[in-house]
Amino acid sequence: MSGYASEPHPIPVGIGDRVKHYRPPRWLRNGHVQSVWPTLFRRVNLAEPEQEIVRTADDDELYLDWYRQGNNRLAIICHGLEGNSRRPYVRGLARALLRTGWDVLAWNFRSCGGVMNQQPRFYHSGATGDLDRVIGHALKQDYRALTLSGFSMGGNLSLLYLGQKSSSLDSRIRGAVTFSVPCDLAGSAGMLALPSRRIYMQRFLKDLYPKMAEKALRFPDLIDVSGFDSIHNFHDFDDRYTAPLHGFRDAQDYWAQCSALGHLKDVQVPALIVNALDDPFLSRACYPEDRDILGHYVTLESPKWGGHVGFVEHARDGYYWSERRAVAFMDSVMR
């Protein structure tokens, strides 16, 4: 535990007093640059977490990373599509939260984190049952307060969960902060199908193919990867794999049921969505302003810059603006 506390340059507890607007250097005022820079160049020094495996009701496994310091409040972090609990954006937020008095639990969706899961199904944007399993397990650790944090797909998952559980949410769950949230799944799939976004789509498909190939070997009667190179976008992939493996009629049905957008009004705890206006992944519907859509508890912030899971900040303490904003929001929720 001392490995977490010994990191240099702690974030001041009163960081919220100086988090106002995100204004990156001029050369970072481009959504594509923001989206790829952290992946290529960011490294976050953080002590190794305590690992745990949690069983699911359908006899599968979820891999968890714990960062414990003996605090009585816990932040759960959900990563994005084809991410994992060790990605720089997850570790960066974990480091910031550890500095400000939180324990942290970062978890891996099924098939993520370097270990293939046991069942034919894997993960998707609406797999709130797995998030519920993680939360239930965490709350058995006697934490007095818990918050959710989510990036991209993990943000949609967190908000969808809060909307679905509005009438039965554990009172210890105080709120959520989310970044770069594709809360309109159909619209975001359409954005990533554009020729100008081909580089992102190709990367996702390149990462997904080995997983589907391994599953095809394990479950040849259910999964076939012949002709995978004819898949060019998420409509093709979700129609062929995500929807049938997880009980949806087709891609459109999956997107309709699992988009958080229609559930935001049901959220009953403070929740923040930070979606940059230059995010190349997000459709116009991912920037809801109407209170009839947002409800009473969800707030949308739309910085002019930030890209997709970017919000890069070249600060001497090593933190990104998104981490400062998350800490400030969580502190306000706890107050």
Please determine, for residue 321, whether its predicted confidence score (pLDDT) is greater than 50: yes
Q: Tokens representing 82?
A: 């084809």
Q: What is the pTM of this model?
A: 0.94
Residue 109 pLDDT class (50, 70, 90 cuts):
very high
Please determine, for residue 6, whether its predicted confidence score (pLDDT) is greater than 60: no
61-67 vs 50-55, strand pairing mode: antiparallel
Tell which wins on pLDDT, 306 or 9. Answer: 306
Q: What's the rounded Cα separation, in Å, for the pair 272 and 300?
A: 6
Residue 21 pLDDT class (50, 70, 90 cuts):
confident
Please determine, for residue 16, whether its predicted confidence score (pLDDT) is greater than 90: no
Would you give the DSSP letter of residue 19?
A: -
Residue 75 pLDDT class (50, 70, 90 cuts):
very high
Predicted pLDDT of residue 10: 43
Mean pLDDT for the stretch of residues 34-63:
96
103-108 vs 61-67, strand pairing mode: antiparallel
Q: What's the rounded Cα separation, in Å, for the pair 196 and 278?
A: 14
Q: What's the rounded Cα separation, in Å, for the pair 160 and 142?
A: 25
Domains contained in the chain, CATH given: 2-184+264-334 (3.40.50.1820), 196-258 (no CATH)
Closest CA to 127 of 113, 140, 111, 138: 111
Q: What's the rounded Cα separation, in Å, for the pair 105 and 54?
A: 13
Predicted pLDDT of residue 89: 98
Q: Tokens representing 204?
A: 């996702």
Mean pLDDT for the stretch of residues 98-103:
97
Q: What's the rounded Cα separation, in Å, for the pair 102 and 195?
A: 42
Predicted pLDDT of residue 17: 41
Q: What's the rounded Cα separation, in Å, for the pair 179 and 79?
A: 10
Mean pLDDT for the stretch of residues 3-9:
45
Pair 113, 63: CB distance under 8 Å:
yes
- Tens digits of residue pLDDT in 220-255: 999 999 999 999 999 999 999 999 999 999 999 999
Residue 19 pLDDT class (50, 70, 90 cuts):
low
Instruction: List Cβ neighbours of 28 (8 Å cut-off, separation of 6 or more).
Output: 34, 37, 305, 310, 312
Please determine, for residue 13, whether its predicted confidence score (pLDDT) is greater than 70: no
Please determine, for residue 314, whether its predicted confidence score (pLDDT) is greater than 60: yes
Mean pLDDT for the stretch of residues 296-322:
96
Pair 288, 182: CB distance under 8 Å:
no
Beta bridge partners of 150: 78, 178
Mean pLDDT for the stretch of residues 121-145:
97
Q: Tokens representing 7?
A: 């990191």
Predicted pLDDT of residue 3: 53
Residue 23 pLDDT class (50, 70, 90 cuts):
very high
Torsion-angle region of residue 173: left (phi > 0), alpha (psi -120 to 50) or beta? beta
Residue 316 pLDDT class (50, 70, 90 cuts):
confident
Q: What's the rounded Cα separation, in Å, for the pair 257 and 52?
A: 31
Instruction: List Cβ neighbours of 262 (8 Å cut-off, separation of 6 or more).
Output: none
Q: What is the 3-state secondary structure (H, E, C) of 112-157?
A: CCCCCCCCCCCCCCCCHHHHHHHHHHHHCCCCCEEEEEEECHHHHH
- Tens digits of residue pLDDT in 252-307: 999 999 999 999 999 999 999 999 999 999 999 999 999 999 999 999 999 999 99
Sheet holding 103-108, edge to edge: 50-55, 61-67, 103-108, 73-78, 145-151, 173-179, 271-274, 298-301
Predicted pLDDT of residue 156: 98
Mean pLDDT for the stretch of residues 91-118:
97
Mean pLDDT for all residues in the chain: 94
Please determine, for residue 8, whether its predicted confidence score (pLDDT) is greater than 50: no
